[in-house]
Amino acid sequence: MIPPSASAEALQFSQVEALEILDSRGRPTLQVTVAFANGVTGAAGVPSGASTGSKEAAERRDGDQSRYRGLGVLGAAAAVRGEIADLLRSHRWRDLAEIDAAMIDLDGTPNKTRLGANAIVGVSMACARAIASAEGRELWEWLAPAGVAPQLPVPHFNVINGGVHAPNPLDFQEFMIAPLGASSLPEAVRAGAEVYGALRSLLTRKGHSTGLGDEGGFAPQLSEPEQALELLTTAIGEAGYTAGPQGVAIALDPAASEFRGGDGYYTVAGQKLTSADMIERYAQITRRFPVWLIEDGLAEDDWDGWQALTGRLGDRVQLVGDDIFVTNPAIIADAISRGVGNAALIKVNQIGTVTETLEAMAVCRRGGYAQFVSHRSGETTDTFIADLATGSGCGELKTGAPARGERVAKYNRLLEITAARPELPYGLASGPPPSAHER
């Protein structure tokens, strides 16, 4: 699919800059700024994951152990200021698709390893902002594909953290609350914050820690996922909401690639489980708790398991591929043809350009797959994904707890968009799967 084109005037760059800054985990990342000859500028902060899929576009890190334990990004910054800046300043450009394709060519590797996906995605996002601004449009309006109506997404607040995002024994990585039944985006944000507050009180009352994980959710010392779900369902009720699709539903990202061993077994709370056991466990969980969405319920290399899981739960639960699809249009197309999952997680830095991200979303739309726009566990205050989720009309965004500046920045951006354009609809693109209502 062709992303929105720039103005009739060709784009001429005067400046392409990169700065090594810190992300929310205290690790180096890039801030990229571009400027056109007409004075219009655009900037972007690059996110960074911890539970990454093996086929993701590759971040370039310096590996120099004397700085930031090898995690520095001076090489990636130099690639932006050097090779990429030279390319962009070499001639005038028609649109973002042309710029992104040229950066992919210049890199020359399948996974953007040479220049670095962090370098390329930062430039791509900054260019998208600058082009939108040059056209006098809000980023979300500019990102809206032809024929798609923008819509404010249901925010998915990650309020209990486990897995590699927290130092507790909980194997499942993310327990999210999704105000599917809210009447508007501001009411959804309010529900998220009120349930988060109720959960804090409940954890304190029960003697659990209220320390936080990487995405701002609580990280209590629990091991069984059902214990976390029990607490969450109680907190939703104590905050005055109905637990379920008519009020506040629950979404899970077990991030199962992280707890599947080389022997093919999944280890949950010390128990070794087969793929079939996991599917049975999810079937029980969705009967017992108002879980409407499961992301990465099985590992990225367990395609047979994914197919079986989709056959078992796909008609009533949104099954989202993250590590398994890595926002890659070709992998998503393959999954659609094989009936694997029914939705894709969308992370711009996972594929490495805005153009390819929009392509992945278009592949999903054509195949009837939902799209769930996502932050990374390492973030900056950049709010690009709030605009992407709104402009694409996909109806779903996850960007952590309703706490911590880098997470809240995205929710606050949605509130700003709502205030500027109160007529925008709020909610899922096509409503929850039918039988989520009749659990």
Q: Are 170 and 163 in contact (CB under 8 A)?
A: yes
Which of 50, 102, 148, 193 is close enough to bind ligand PGA by CB under 6 A?
50
Give me the catalytic one of 215, 258, 300, 406.
215
CA distance 290 to 298: 20
Residue 374 binding: pick among Zn ion, ligand PGA, none (C-beta 5-8 Å cut-off by kind):
ligand PGA
- Pairing mode of beta strands 271-273, 266-268: antiparallel
| CB-nearer residue toward ligand PGA: 85 or 251 | 251
Write the interaction track for ligand PGA spanning residues 360-389; mark x where CB under 6 A is met and - where it is not: --------------x-xx------------
CA distance 425 to 19: 37
Measured distance between the N- and C-terminal CA atoms of the chain, rounded to whole angstroms: 38
| CB-nearer residue toward ligand PGA: 165 or 208 | 165
* 253 lies in the site for ligand PGA, by CB under 6 A: yes
Q: Which residue has the tokens 């890199």?
A: 107
CA distance 401 to 320: 19
* 156 lies in the site for ligand PGA, by CB under 6 A: no
CB of 240 to ligand PGA, least distance (A): 29
Which of 88, 160, 180, 255 is close enough to bind ligand PGA by CB under 6 A?
255
| CB-nearer residue toward Zn ion: 4 or 378 | 378
Question: Between residue 187 and residue 206, which ones bind ligand PGA under the rule CB under 6 A?
Answer: none
CA distance 102 to 355: 12
CB of 174 to ligand PGA, least distance (A): 7
Helix (H, G, I), strand (E, B), or coil: what is residue 32? strand
Q: Looking at 128-136, 259-267, 291-299, 301-309, which segment touches Zn ion (CB under 5 A)?
A: 291-299
* 396 lies in the site for Zn ion, by CB under 5 A: no
Tell me, yes or no, if 215 is annotated catalytic.
yes
Which of 215, 322, 379, 382 is close enough to bind Zn ion by CB under 5 A?
322
* 49 lies in the site for ligand PGA, by CB under 6 A: yes
Q: Looking at 37-45, 49-57, 266-274, 308-316, which segment touches ligand PGA (CB under 6 A)?
A: 49-57
Residue 392 binding: pick among ligand PGA, Zn ion, none (C-beta 5-8 Å cut-off by kind):
none
CA distance 255 to 176: 13
Q: Are 296 and 320 in contact (CB under 8 A)?
A: yes
* 214 lies in the site for Zn ion, by CB under 5 A: no
Integer angstrom CA distances of residue 49 from 25, 268, 328, 345, 422: 10, 22, 16, 13, 33
Tell me, yes or no, if 206 is annotated catalytic.
no
Which residues, 6 or more positions from 77, have their beta carbon under 8 angstroms from its beta carbon? 18, 19, 20, 30, 119
Q: Which residue has the tokens 């959804």?
A: 188
> Nearest-CA neighbor of 272 among 176, 171, 199?
171
> What's the token pair of residue 70?
């090898």
Give me the catalytic one of 55, 112, 347, 410.
347
Residue nearest ligand PGA, CB atom distance: 49
Q: Are 418 and 184 in contact (CB under 8 A)?
A: yes
Which of 107, 215, 253, 396 is close enough to bind Zn ion by CB under 5 A?
253
Which of 51, 124, 342, 357 is close enough to bind ligand PGA by CB under 6 A?
51
Active site amino acids: 215, 347
Q: Which residues bind ligand PGA (CB under 6 A)?
A: 49-52, 253, 255, 322, 374, 376-377
